[in-house]
Amino acid sequence: MGAVLGCIADDFTGATDLAGLLARSGAAVSLRIGVPDASEAETAAEFEVIALKCRTAPVDDAIASCRAALGWLQRAGASRFFWKYCSTFDSTPEGNIGPVAEALMGDLGATQTIYCPAFPENGRSIFMGNLFVGQQPLHESPMKDHPLTPMRDSNLMRLLAPQVRGEVGLIDRLTVAKGPEALRAALAQRAAEGVAHVVVDAVADADLAIIAEACQDMPLLTGGSAVAQPLPALYAKGQGAPQRGSAPSVPDGALVLSGSCSQMTRAQVAAYLGQAPGFKLDPLQLATSGHGAALDWLKAQAASANPLIYATAEPQEVRRAQSELGVAAAGAVVEDALAALSVAARDLGIRRFVVAGGETSGAVASALGVTRLDIRDEIAPGVPWCFAKSNGSDIAITLKSGNFGAESFFADALAQLNAA
């Protein structure tokens, strides 16, 4: 049958977020780490998600990798495509959201697309083109201090305009609330005015359903994961509920790895340390001494203790490490350590991994040799358990975006898997 919808995500946790929401429908969802080999297109699922690591890559590199992913998805049979980025529109004045969207539009011959990073279930909403995180405008939220993509403006049109060549416009919530036909008419009007890039308001799940219905036949949609969630039901067209096979069994014993320094992840680490042993990584020590001390500590832990290794720190600690090592080097030394420790844990027999942070998730998944994930039930909105092969063994892994999940997320994740 081939793929029905082909999706490209700009980081690994964003990919699992999207795949988890698509899988709520019961559809077969496959998540690929990086662009697969051409021969794998023959094994495509109905809904294919390709996870890239291009959110903060140089613009030309991001465009090249996304175009390569698009080519594979086309060979896999997809004729509709989704470009997924973070629900907080993480980007810089140079990109990469807009440049990638424009490049994909060019390859597909699309003259218009929408931008809708809203995720009401996780507190992300758009009103009059302004993005809110809970009740805070984006530029007043903790995202204003993000170490790689600090967001200092909440207006999506102002954020997007410097990134694209085409005209940018808005369809506000008052129009969306009138229903799919009104939205289609507004999009047609914007197209007649030459507006190629349309920000669309959404403050509730009902808005997302309207947007998905109105835009389902566009060659390319862009946004956060939530606007894609209704698409499987729309594309199924009454074919009945799909069935997934059973998940593999993996032995008890888990490792929690956290590289995110988001406000929520800091709270999650603090909560989990009240019930499990933990080892804190210091980027400055890693840069001089490596991760040997953490490895020795890990070897001394019982797998049943479900230990935590983390570099999660307060903003002032992050700034101190970045000032001494440089922003890129401070991040890389942590990612390299957590990736190496995940492999060591696997070789010690651990088969369950909980990973927090987009960059960390990419590093860990790559180190474990994970190339394809089978998406299963969500632990929290946008964060599913996944199953994969690593060095020939079945593993369970969840890749969590920094700000997602409740404070009890790490314990919740392990409890859910134990109950399955």
Give, to the nearest 10 degrees, the angle between helix 327-347 and helix 315-325.
Answer: 110
Report residue 420 as tokens: 């399955």
Residue 1: the pLDDT is 60
Report residue 57 as tokens: 């890559």
Q: Determine the Cα–Cα distance for residues 147 and 122; give it in Å rounded to an integer.
A: 21
Query: Model confidence at 245, in pLDDT bands (50, 70, 90)?
Result: low
Query: Model confidence at 241, in pLDDT bands (50, 70, 90)?
Result: very low
- The residues facing 223 across adjacent strands are 84, 116
CB-based contacts of 60: which residues, under 8 Å, 6+ apart? none
User: DSSP 3-state assignment of 352?
Assistant: strand
Contact 199, 168 (CB under 8 A): yes
Helix (H) or strand (E) holding 47: strand 47-51
Question: What does DSSP assign to residue 35?
Answer: P
The arithmetic mean of pLDDT across residues 67-74, rounded, is: 98
Q: Answer positive or negative: Cα dihedral of 381, 142, 365, 276.
A: negative
Give, to the nearest 10 degrees, the angle between helix 327-347 and helix 292-300.
Answer: 30
CB atoms within 10 A of CB 45: 22
pTM of the complete model beyond 0.75: yes
Q: Determine the Cα–Cα distance for residues 86 and 192; give it in Å rounded to an integer.
A: 29
Residue 319: the pLDDT is 92
Task: Tell me the pairing of strands 130-133 and 124-127.
Answer: antiparallel
Residue 253: the pLDDT is 95
Condensed to tens digits (0 to 9), the pLDDT of residues 367-377 reads 999 999 988 88
More confident residue, 220 or 328: 220
What would the DSSP string read from start to end of 225-283? Answer: GGGGTTHHHHHHTT-------PPPP--S-EEEEE----HHHHHHHHHHTTTS-EEE--H
Residue 243: the pLDDT is 55
Query: Model confidence at 402, in pLDDT bands (50, 70, 90)?
Result: confident
Contact 115, 197 (CB under 8 A): yes
Q: Determine the Cα–Cα distance for residues 276 and 273; give it in Å rounded to an integer.
A: 5
Place of tokens 């390859």: 107
Entry field: residues in the chain:
420
Condensed to tens digits (0 to 9), the pLDDT of residues 141-197 reads 989 988 889 999 999 999 999 999 999 999 999 999 999 999 999 999 999 999 999
pLDDT over 80 (residue 237): no
Helix (H) or strand (E) holding 419: helix 409-419
The arithmetic mean of pLDDT across residues 265-271, rounded, is: 97
Residue 239: the pLDDT is 56
HSE (side-chain half, CA atoms, 13 Å) at 146: 23
Residue 377: the pLDDT is 87
The arithmetic mean of pLDDT across residues 353-358, rounded, is: 94
Residue 244: the pLDDT is 59
pLDDT over 80 (residue 102): yes
CB-based contacts of 383: which residues, under 8 Å, 6+ apart? 13, 16, 17, 20, 398, 399, 400, 401, 404, 405, 409, 413
Query: Model confidence at 259, in pLDDT bands (50, 70, 90)?
Result: very high
Report residue 250 as tokens: 């993996």
Query: Model confidence at 238, in pLDDT bands (50, 70, 90)?
Result: low
Condensed to tens digits (0 to 9), the pLDDT of residues 296-355 reads 999 999 989 999 999 999 999 999 999 999 988 999 999 999 999 999 999 999 999 999
